[in-house]
Amino acid sequence: MLEFVVVGEAVADVRIACALADRVINEEGPEWLRLQNLDWFRFWSGLQPNSSHSTWSEVRQLSKGFPELTFLRRFAGPDHKRENLPDYAPTRKAILLSALLRKDQFPAAIILIRDLDHQPERKEGMEQARAAERGRLVVILAAPKHKREAWVLNGFICENEREQKELESIRQEVKLDPCLEAHRLRYASQTSRAERNPKEILQRLTDGSREREERCWTETPLSLLRERGAETNLKTYLTEIQESLLPLFSR
């Protein structure tokens, strides 16, 4: 059975990343796999065995038990004068911890989830850390631009008249379609207009229903998610699952 380690900022991030990965495997994998229960072939875990997932704060705490990881304060590549890009160090620590905390067998892959929060260099740092792994472990990056809610908005399709009216009202307020242009919803509490907050927009559209929110990524066709998510990095994530995670089931 394949073990997939997942690290995110919160349970909500882990939930959407895992669900989308399973959808790609189920819907785009080989026919023999589509007809099976995925729980027979893969399981999700955190950095520590027998955990369901890990958070980035846990990465910081766990790394304190491994003094050898202190070298990650600076970039560990050929150009030692180069400073770490943002998120290089925590990403590299998470990758190494997934191996250090397992004595018997490495996980098959690790999925790392991190909102970019208006810092595109975060994704560059994560990619830098993945490159340092040199292919020894499959590393999948889920980096929503700018927030996880952007991915949910990418999958929002109106189901009733209330939602249609609310969506139209939001379009008029922010002068864009929050589902088609979720990447343009830039919000920082001190400097941005409150009506452009993707969290608030999603709250309004789904009427605060977690079940309604989940349907945005569990029922919306993957083709539409890719189309709408080209600028939010959702398309990139789905492609990484298809090209790097799915082949593990055929080994």
DSSP per-residue codes, 123-175: HHHHHHHHHHHTTSSEEEEE--SS-HHHHHHHT----SHHHHHHHHHHHHHHT
Residue 55, SS3 per DSSP: strand
Is 137 in the same domain as 23?
yes
Residue 196 in tokens: 């452009």
Distances from the Cα of 4 to the Cα of 17, 59, 71, angstroms: 12, 16, 26
* Residue 74: per-residue pLDDT: 47
Instruction: Rounding to the nearest 10 degrees, give the CA dihedral for residues 221, 224, 230, 231.
Output: -100
Residue 248 in tokens: 């593990």
Nearest to residue 199, comparing CAs of 143, 115, 119, 114?
A: 115
The range of the structural domain enclosing residue 78 comes to: 2-144+233-250
Q: What is the pLDDT along the chain (251 residues), one digit of tens a residue?
A: 999 999 999 999 999 999 999 999 999 999 888 878 999 999 999 999 889 999 999 999 999 999 888 766 544 455 544 567 889 999 999 999 998 998 778 899 999 999 999 899 999 999 999 998 887 899 999 999 999 999 999 999 999 999 999 999 999 999 999 999 999 997 665 545 667 899 999 999 999 999 999 999 999 999 999 999 999 999 999 999 999 999 999 87
Is 199 in the same domain as 120?
no
* Residue 149: per-residue pLDDT: 96
Is 82 in the same domain as 169?
no
Number of domains in the chain: 2
* Residue 105: per-residue pLDDT: 83
* Residue 192: per-residue pLDDT: 55
Is 50 in the same domain as 99?
yes
Residue 110, SS3 per DSSP: strand
Q: Does the pTM of the predicted model rise above 0.85?
A: yes
| CA max distance for the chain | 59
Is 139 in the same domain as 186?
no
Is 245 in the same domain as 122?
yes
Residue 17 lies in a domain: yes
Return the exposure string of 200-237: e unless at least 16 CB atoms fall within 10 Å of the residue's CB, then b. ebbebbbeeeeebbbbbbeebebeebbebbebbbbbbb
* DSSP state, residue 28: H
Specify the amino acid at residue 36.
Q
* Residue 189: per-residue pLDDT: 59
Q: How far apart are CA 136 and CA 72, in angstroms?
A: 18
What CATH code is carried by the domain that includes residue 134? 3.40.50
* Residue 131: per-residue pLDDT: 93
